[in-house]
Amino acid sequence: MSTAPAQAAQHQDANEYALWDFHGANGFWNIDQRVQITRKAHHSYWAMLWDFTATPGKGGYMGLQTNGTRFNHTTGETAIFSLWNANGSRGGHCGPFGGEGTGLSCRIPYAIDRQTDYRLRVWRLTADSGGQWWGAWVRNLTSSPA
């Protein structure tokens, strides 16, 4: 009996991530991560994750997902930006999430090209009476070099 078909199916869908940990260092305002998409499957997710120094285990994640579920109830290739414990968001593509903690997430349709380099960026923006604002960007480095 051959196990090749089961092994091949096991490797169809995957994710890749990098977890940023600054070991208590302060003064950072952004994180950039470069990701190269060489192959995609129906269930692929390329992400970066981070924790905030003041609240260990409570940071965020962002990335590209081939089968992302959006807040308008559509599914497809999606750019995702999520923060645990967030108390505000801007834009019509954002909403609450739960399961692995609670917070707010923004999810927009984003075509993912194969054989392409992307830059994922999270940036500290202004602060107000509600807290610190953060932004996220995805740049296709092939069609829009930095």
- The predicted-structure confidence for 51-101, as pLDDT tens digits, reads as follows 877 666 678 999 999 999 999 999 999 999 999 999 999 888 999 998 888
What is the pLDDT at residue 101? 86
Q: Is 89 helix (H, G, I), strand (E, B) or coil?
A: coil
H or E element in which residue 10 lies = helix 4-10
CA distances in angstroms from 92 to 3, 105, 108, 114, listed in the order given: 47, 11, 9, 28
Question: Which residue has tokens 């602060």?
Answer: 127
